[in-house]
Amino acid sequence: MVSTVGAGSDPVGRVGVVGLGLVGGSLARLLAERGVDVVATDVSATTRRAARAARLAVVDDLAALCGALPDLVVLAVPLRAMHATAGALAPLLADAAAAAGPDGGPTVTDVGSVKGPVRAALGEAGLGGRYVGAHPMSGTEHSGFEASSAALLDGVAWAVTVAPDGVEQGSPQRLAHVLRLVTGPLAGTAAVVTDTQHDEAVALVSHVPHVVATQLLNAVAGAPVRDLALGLAAGSFRDGTRVARTDPGRTEAMVTENAAWVAPALRKVVRDLEIVIGALETNGSPHAFFHAADEVRAGDPAPPDDPGRSGDGGLEPLTEGWPGRLVERCVAGDVVAGLSADHARLVRRPGPPHPVR
């Protein structure tokens, strides 16, 4: 049985972007630059004026955005505003959804850094069947529309997520819609995973680093020699605390929304640091701690043409059950680089970066 997810001449359609901060603004800029029909809104009148000055098509509120009949709605609002935004959005999409049938009407996605709570919010609002999670793995320590740039999201890696309790839930057509956005005008790649897999992984590579960076900054901020230390700080402190200089409210929301995965990861960090402290206080050796990640630190030893590390991952037919098969392949190391009417094109995820010499 072949899935009916064929791509037409315009596989993305009109995109509505709700929220014009760093990521939402960057997304709207890039889509407009690539010729996609995009309409956006933001709760801030100041932000809307700035976006209009940047030649973006901007409307005043959610009602006007939904009245523009977008084919895909991207929620780029803060995590703590997601529940209220979903609740306000649902009735506005109801008429379009009723006219189009259960599998028609706009697809809803987002750019949030946590996926489980967002799916729950969309489900409570009655939009769960229309939702496909998405998270671009790109950002800066800055925030707001003035910090946004089309370059921020051009060609980056995305996670695109499905429900953890059954990848067949929802519509494969909606998953295909989001994948075409990511691999088409955004020129990115997509790792298709479950919400749970995503939230566990980003706890390790994003959320815990934010907490640790914040603690490094806090330690210096509270030290008697703070001013001297900051005057002497060089690359290691700058790099280690960069993300701690972002909006602390945004970081707090991200970490608390993913508490189930962040807390145990932080406990391991604390246990490992206690071992180092104990070794230093007893004239012991912290050798094991400093060499535990030698394999990652050394980079990937496989040659570039090793099919187990990089290169062509082949094609996956969009036949019945294809979302589940993509999850299996992406967890094993593939990413989606393109989508046609009848197959997904996959490539191998690159190995860990080689060290800087």
Confidence of residue 11 (pLDDT cuts 50, 70, 90): confident
Average pLDDT score over the chain: 89
Sorted by sequence, the CB contacts under 8 Å of residue 64 that are 6+ apart come out as: 41
> pLDDT tens, 275-295?
999 999 999 999 999 999 988
DSSP 331-342: HTTEEEEEE-SS
> Is 303 among the domain residues?
no
Q: What CATH number does residue 164 fall under? A: 3.40.50.720
pLDDT at 106 over 80: yes
Residue 308, domain member (yes or no): no
The domain boundary residue, chosen from 136, 159, 194: 194
Give a yes or no: residue 218 inside a domain.
Answer: yes
The whole-number pLDDT of residue 351 equals 59
- pLDDT at position 323: 94
164 and 21, same structural domain? yes
Tally of domains in the chain: 2
Query: In the prediction, which pLDDT does 155 show?
Result: 96
Task: Quick: pLDDT tens for 238-263.
Answer: 999 999 998 899 899 999 999 999 99
In terms of domains, do 74 and 163 share one?
Answer: yes
Give tens-digit pLDDT for 301-322.
444 444 444 456 799 999 999 9
CA distances from 303 to 237, 331, 347 (A): 33, 22, 16
User: Tell me, what's the pLDDT at 98?
Assistant: 61
Determine the pLDDT at residue 112.
95
Which H, E and C letters describe 128-193, residue by residue?
A: HHHECEEEECCCCCCCCHHHCCHHHHCCCEEEEEECCCCCCCCCHHHHHHHHHHHHCCCCCEEEEE
130 — phi, psi (to 5°)? -100, -5
Answer yes or no: is pLDDT of 355 > 60. no
Q: Are residues 24 and 155 in the same domain?
A: yes
Looking at residue 101, its pLDDT comes to 55
Domain boundary among 297, 322, 338: 297
Task: Kindly state whether residues 189 and 204 are assigned to the same domain.
Answer: no
125 plus 205 within the same structural domain:
no
The CATH number that applies at residue 214 is 1.10.3660.10
Domain boundary among 297, 318, 339: 297
What's residue 164's pLDDT? 79
Residues 186 and 212 in one domain: no
Question: In terms of DSSP H, where are the helices of 15-136?
Answer: 22-33, 45-53, 62-67, 82-100, 116-124
Over residues 186-215, mean pLDDT? 96
- Average pLDDT of the segment spanning 121-125: 96
Range of the domain at 166: 15-194
- pLDDT-derived band at 6 (thresholds 50, 70, 90) equals very low
Structural domain contains residue 336: no
pLDDT digits (tens, 9 = 90+) for 40-91: 999 999 999 999 999 999 999 999 999 999 999 999 999 999 999 999 999 9
pLDDT band, very low/low/confident/very high, at 166 (cuts 50, 70, 90): low
- In order, the DSSP letters of 279-307 are HHHTT---HHHHHTTHHHHT---S-TT-T
